[in-house]
Every structure is written in C-alpha cells, then in structure tokens.
Amino acid sequence: MLSVNFVNLMQVSLFTLSVLGIVLLFQEKRLLCTNLLFLLVALSSAFNLLEELNITRSIHLVTPVFILGLGPAVYLAIRSVLGETIDSRHLLHFVPMFIALPFTGAPQWIILIGTFSRCMYGVATLKKLYNLRERLAAWRSDAEDLSFNALFWWTLVMSTFSVLDLVRLNFQMALGYSLNVLGQGISTLIAIAFFAVLLKQLVQNKSSIISLIDGYQQNHSAHNTGESTLELTSDAKQSDEYLAIYGHLVKQIVEEQWFTKQGLTLHQLSELTGLQSRDISRAINIHAQTNFNEFINQHRVNYVIERIVENTCTPLLSIAMDAGFGSKTTFNNMFRQIIGKTPTAFKRAQKFRKAESVTAV
C-alpha cells in the first residue's frame, strides 16, 4: 500500500507548476534555457515522488544526480533571461550529472559533490543578477524597471534554503525521519515559491524580456565593434572629440525632448541623433561622469522641476509620466538621488516659497 505524506503532495504541485511553465513558454525559442530548467525540475519532482513511494527505487536510484543538474540549469536560465547568448557549448555544464548517473548506489558522495556544485552555481547566479543593474544602466533609461529585484531576492532565498537542505541531506542519517521530512517539506515549498515567481516574471514580462535579450545582444555587438578603435585613440584626443559629440547630444536631447520617451535605449537614441551608440556612451561617460541611465533621468528630473516651478498644482505622477518615467517608484528614487529630497518635499517647498512671495507683495 502506498504511503503519501504532505511532501509528496507538494512534489506533485512542483511537478504541475513546472509542466505549466513548459507549456506557457514552449514556443519562445529565446527562452529555451528556462524550458530546460522547468523540464529538469519536473523530472526531479517526478523521480522524487516515484522513489519515495517505492515505485522505482528498487530499479535504480536517480534523484541524487539532479543535485548536480539544477545548479547549472538555474544559472543558465537566469543568464538567458538577462539577455546573454546560450549555445550548445553550455551543455557541458550538465556532464557531471550524467557521469554521476551510474554511481547513485553511493548517494552520499554525489550529494556531497553536489553541495559544492550548487553553492558555486548559486554564487555565480546571484552575481549575474547583482551586476544586472549596472549593465542595464549603460544602455537603458528604464534600468530600474527591468532589474528583476523580486527575482534576485527569491534566488537568494532559494539558494540559502538549498544550502541548508543540502546540509540536511549530508546528515540525514543522524537527523531522523521527522526532521528529514520537515526539512524536505520546507525546501520544496521554497522551490514552489521561487519557480512560481520566475514563471510569473517570464509570462507577464515576456515582451520586455525578449526586448532585453535583443537589445543586450545588439548593444554588446556594437560595443565590441568599437572597442579596438577606442583603444588606439589617446585620452586627450578622445576628450576633445567626445566633447563635441556631447555638446551636440545635449542640445538635441533638450530641444527635441527625446528623454520623455519611456524606455528610451541607447540604440534608439543613436537612431534619433545619427550618432553611433558607442560614441554616445563614451561621450556621456567622459563628460557627464555618469552612465546612460542616469544621464537621461537627470534630464527627466530637470523637466519635472521646471514643471513644478511653473505650476505647483499639477499632480506629480502626471508630470513624472510626461517626463518619461515608467513608474512612480523609479521617479521617486531618481528624484531623491539627484535632488536630495523627495518630489513631494520639493513641491511643498515650492508652494511655501510662492506663498511667501505673495504675502511679501
């Protein structure tokens, strides 16, 4: 007779969620690595369930090898979501998993090796997500809206609990049945939450992610094309040449108010100005001492300030959207970062100053 516990029910939930992810994302080739991840999770959940119910355990133990596979699968999936190219060479990350398959008769050794593997891939994944903001800021004006903060924190949470669960697996003989089941249940619950957040991000923001992938590859290619040219130019000559580019750039942006375009990218600005992307980026770096994101948002904040000074009765959010900001949170953060106070505090101060001037008259 089969004995089913609450962990088995959660494994069914994780399997169902993974299959749903595969179905929803199957047709998008550029998200192939996320499909591979969901497939691996589905297989892991299925084998876990079958072995715990003593259906396949007597034939061959399989589940320990997934410890060696899930780390690289998450890492490659995140890299693909961030716009990096994944090719057939990256399949080498899964070689240890297949090598370990005939040796699952000694699961503790595989678990021990898998523990170090998962830790290394976890650190590499978090580093990729952590560095995303800086990379996006170099070529997108909406970097804050695409920084996947929720995904970063859930990856951190899942990585932490994965390490704790791997510790449990390494000492499961000493912990006893109850603690093992509890630990496995918590780990499975965290995994369900992580993959639910990942799937939600992918489904809700699919068009933005595809745009991010295309934009990153395009920008990366343009950057590499101009790299050798920049290296051959002296610093003094660069400064003079890019000063002219910078002056022309600022003049056009202010006159045409291109910064009001939401989600403006370096490539789009290049098409509008007729300047090359690498020249725009370099001119901003040298003469504004900042990145593309902060440069564009500086102009947006200046626009907001002018509008507030002209009319303190206009709603702040309306002005922010007209200026090109994509969300209230991004607007508030950028305004505070550049001006040193919140938009509300600045507007209140302007109202008070106008009231004083009227009283004085």
Residues with Cβ within 8 Å of 228's Cβ and at least 6 positions away in sequence, in order, are none
Question: Quick check: is 127 in a domain?
Answer: yes
- 232 shares its domain with 174: no
How far is Cα 280 from Cα 277, in angstroms, rounded to an integer? Answer: 5
pTM greater than the 0.85 cutoff = no
Could you read off the pLDDT tens digit of each residue along the chain, which spans 361 residues? Answer: 456 678 888 899 999 999 999 998 887 777 788 889 999 999 999 998 888 888 887 788 899 899 899 999 989 988 887 767 788 899 899 999 999 999 988 888 888 888 888 889 988 988 887 777 677 777 777 777 665 666 777 778 877 887 787 788 778 778 787 888 888 888 888 889 888 888 887 777 666 566 665 555 555 555 554 443 344 344 554 667 888 899 999 999 999 999 999 888 888 899 999 988 888 988 998 888 888 999 999 999 999 999 998 887 889 999 999 999 988 888 999 999 999 999 999 998 888 777 766 565 5
Question: Quick check: is 261 in a domain?
Answer: yes
Contact 137, 294 (CB under 8 A): yes
pLDDT at 306: 93
Question: Quick check: is 208 in a domain?
Answer: yes
- Give the CATH number of the domain where residue 331 resides: 1.10.10.60
- 193 shares its domain with 267: no
Domain count, the chain: 2
pLDDT at 3: 64
The encoded tokens of residue 338 equal: 């550049």
Strand partners, 122: none
Contact 124, 75 (CB under 8 A): yes
Please report where in the chains the tokens 């969901």 appear, as a residue: 38
pLDDT at 215: 58
Instruction: Give residue 262's domain range.
Output: 226-356
How far is Cα 213 from Cα 32, in angstroms, rounded to an integer? Answer: 13
- 105 shares its domain with 27: yes
How far is Cα 360 from Cα 351, in angstroms, rounded to an integer? Answer: 14
Question: Quick check: is 255 in a domain?
Answer: yes
Question: Quick check: is 164 in a domain?
Answer: yes
- 135 shares its domain with 31: yes
Question: Quick check: is 1 in a domain?
Answer: no
Single-letter amino acid code for the residue at 285: N
User: Among the residues of the chain, which ranges form H helices?
Assistant: 6-25, 32-52, 66-81, 95-100, 107-130, 132-137, 149-170, 172-175, 177-204, 206-231, 235-256, 266-273, 277-287, 292-310, 316-323, 328-339, 343-360
- 100 shares its domain with 180: yes
Question: Quick check: is 217 in a domain?
Answer: no
- 193 shares its domain with 268: no
DSSP 331-354: HHHHHHHHHSS-HHHHHHHHHHHH
How far is Cα 259 from Cα 324, in angstroms, rounded to an integer? Answer: 6
